[in-house]
Amino acid sequence: MKPTLFVLAAGMGSRYGGLKQLDGLGPNGETIMDYSIYDAVRGGFGKVVFVIRHSFEADFREKIITKYQNVIPVELVFQELDYLPEGFTLNPERVKPWGTNHAVLMGKDAIKEPFAVINADDFYGRESFKILADYLSGLNGKQNDYCMVGYRLGNTLSESGSVARGICATDANDNLTTVVERTYIIRDTDGVIKYKDENENMVPAGENVPVSMNMWGFTPEYFQYSEDYFVDFLKENAANIKAEYFIPMVVNNLITSKKCTVKVLDTPSKWFGVTYAEDRQMVVDKIQELISKGEYPDKLF
């Protein structure tokens, strides 16, 4: 059974000011997501599931899904603020989405096989999808054996300013021990990468330190763990209308309680995305460069 690609796209409508502005960065108006789907298909994924919001379903079906219909099977699931476990009601003041792991939970009924999770608007690179699909293909019938594609920190920076990344620590077997979100990482004028720690000190970090770009691999029991832990999260954060339920929270919890292992898979891929408006042209140029090298065809679909 081929693994499924689960694409977190519920933030798209708000982030891009509506899907009509979904940014075309390739020569024929291809979006970053188009490159992800293309890479996933040739990497060995068998199905794509998108999590979106109901408000832009019609637009999404017309502008996005029609592109892929003869390429790979596609399903939609939905994330809304009031999709909460029994016994919980939405605080009417809450407007912020519940976060990445709440989005993952929405796939529970659609996904019964090993699956990968990615963001819709990050360019992950061909090798990363192949590495992830190969690992997930070996997990059929297994449980509690997860993975994460670990990007080399130096391959994930923006030339336009600081970035936030989940800096990972691993054991001798390349299993994840912790992910710590660092919200300010930058390459200094002396060329050294540094991040701001909890005491506001700038700490040097190596070029090849693995970081999480939200590219994970799970098996279906992860949904049950997520559901159980979401109840705890809601109890703890009842009064906080801005609290978010992120994937690393659940993963860290499962690792600490020894319920799973998470293999960190090294990738040579260079991540890129539009973190700042100034990054846009750089992404266009990098895609063109990859096409010139023969990595991608001029027209994807």
Q: Which domains does the chain have, with CATH numbers?
A: 4-150+212-292 (3.90.550.10)
Tokens 């846009």 correspond to what residue?
280
* H or E element that contains 149: strand 145-152
3-state DSSP helix/strand/coil percent for the chain, to nearest 5? Answer: 30, 25, 45
Centre a 10 Å sphere on the Cβ of residue 158 and count the other Cβ atoms it contains: 19
Q: Between the CA of residue 111 and those of 6, 108, 163, what are the distances in Å? A: 9, 6, 32
Residue 188: predicted pLDDT: 92
The predicted pLDDT at position 154 comes to: 95
* Cα(102)–Cα(249) distance, integer angstroms: 11
pTM of the model: 0.94
How far apart CA 134 and CA 43 sit, in angstroms, is: 8
Give tens-digit pLDDT for 222-250: 999 999 999 999 999 978 999 999 999 99
What is the per-residue pLDDT for 14?
67
pLDDT score recorded for residue 15: 63
Residues 6 or more apart from 101 whose CB is under 8 A from it? 226, 230, 245, 246, 247, 249, 250
Residue among 201, 175, 153, 182 at smallest CA distance from 255: 175
DSSP 271: P
Residues of the chain with pLDDT under 70: 13-18, 20-21
H helix or E strand, kind and range, residue 264: strand 261-267
Which pLDDT score is estimated for 272? 87
